[in-house]
A = this chain, B = another copy of it.
């Protein structure tokens, strides 16, 4: 078997991008697209005449579909993904995996029990700039990472059953976990409810990692400018990843503060500041979603564990739950404990 029969569920905002990518990958055959809207199906049919358009994804179960992509609103992720897993289909779910960790755990358990591929669409782990940043960090060029500051702002797109954390922060959480390679110890969050009194549209999330490393994420649906910026401050150098920049996405600053070897008295207090060159590495760009779709197919075909597998999706959901608990309790620190059971082989894409 070297081609996977794929079904796409959801033809809203993101679904068409998934559909386009799978139709262009040689080891996939897109059998059908499911959506509740006749209008969207008609529109998509005119573009993809060879793809079957159906209203109920459950028809997939009789169409030879082997793998599904769930790009529906987050509230339906769990039911659809479980149903598909239980029908022995491999599943790629858009972020967030589910809206609570119990559901996420259920999905992980079913997938593992049945030996199915369960993957979550943490797209940024497949982004060339994020990967370049991880390589820079792992190479030791930045020294020890002190803190990561992430900002993700724009005007809209509001969701009604999901606050801004659940909508935007999965990106930054998955990036941070990917870059740091470790989980947070505690999480706290604060925010603002500007448009609807019961819905946070601005949120600040604070993550304490082991070894005194700190992460901070600022998300907003209510900002005049589109900002997607991640700053990594290390003991040797600093890096800024600005996703809004069309070309110069990563800047590495040879800047830092050097403390003296010992500083017990005030007189010893002499810091020196380093100001050196800035380097903007050339990054060869491939559409992240393309790599993500390709990776999903490869994991199915080769039985590999995805880079962003169900357990990662579960982890991000647990962090979001903790953040929400904090958000609703005056910003208290919530401990994060995630026990990985058993060993898993994880493969680089």
List residues of A whose CB falls within 8 A of some B CB.
49-50, 146-147, 149, 155-156, 158, 160-161, 186, 188, 190-197, 202, 204, 206, 212, 214, 216, 218, 220-225, 231, 233, 235, 238-240, 248, 251, 253-257, 259, 263, 266, 269, 271, 273, 275-282, 330-333
- Cβ–Cβ < 8 Å partners of A214 in chain B: 190-192, 202
CB-based nearest B residue for A239: B224
Contacts of A276 in B (CB 8 A): 282
Total copies of the chain: 4
Interchain nearest-CB distance for A85 vs B (Å) = 27
Question: 14 new A-B pairs (CB below 8 Å) besides A149-B223, A330-B332?
Answer: A149-B202, A155-B255, A160-B263, A161-B266, A190-B206, A196-B259, A218-B218, A224-B233, A224-B238, A224-B240, A224-B253, A248-B278, A276-B282, A279-B280
**Cβ of B49 and Cβ of A188 under 8 Å apart?**
no
Given contacts A50-B49, A188-B190, A240-B224, contact A202 B147 (CB under 8 A): yes
Question: Chain B residues near A251 (CB, 8 Å)?
Answer: 224
Among the listed B50, B160, B279, B332, which residue makes an inter-chain contact with A278, where contact means beta carbons less than 8 Å apart?
A: B279
Q: How far in angstroms is the closest Cβ of chain B from A173?
A: 16
- Tell whether, in the assembled complex, residue B192 and residue A146 are in contact, meaning their CB atoms are under 8 Å apart: yes
Contact B231 A223, beta carbon cutoff 8 Å: yes
Known pairs A155-B255, A279-B278, A333-B331; A147 contacts B212 (CB<8 A): no
Which residues on the B side are within 8 Å of A192 (C-beta)? Answer: 146-147, 212, 214
27 intermolecular pairs with C-beta atoms under 8 Å apart: A49-B49, A146-B222, A149-B223, A155-B256, A156-B257, A158-B271, A161-B266, A186-B330, A193-B212, A195-B257, A202-B233, A204-B204, A204-B216, A222-B257, A224-B231, A224-B240, A224-B253, A224-B255, A225-B240, A248-B278, A275-B282, A277-B279, A277-B281, A277-B282, A278-B279, A278-B280, A330-B332
Nearest-neighbor residue (CB-CB) of A329 within chain B: B333
Task: With CB as the reference atom, state the residue of chain B lying closest to A231.
Answer: B223
Closest 9 CB pairs of A and B: A224-B253, A278-B280, A146-B194, A192-B214, A224-B238, A330-B333, A190-B206, A160-B269, A147-B192
Q: How far is the CA of A271 from the CA of B271 in the complex (A)?
A: 51
CA separation between A235 and B220, bound complex, in Å?
A: 15
Residues of the B chain whose Cβ atoms lie less than 8 Å from the Cβ of A161: 266
Instruction: Report chain B residues within 8 Å CB of A331.
Output: 188, 206, 331-333
Give the CA-CA distance A147 to B212 in the complex, in Å.
30
A103 to chain B, nearest CB (A): 20
A238 with B223, Cβ < 8 A, contacts A202-B214, A233-B194 known: yes
A217 CB, min distance to chain B CBs, angstroms: 11
Q: A155-B255, A158-B271 are in contact. Are A222 and B212 (CB under 8 A)?
A: no
CA distance A306 to B317 in the complex (A): 51
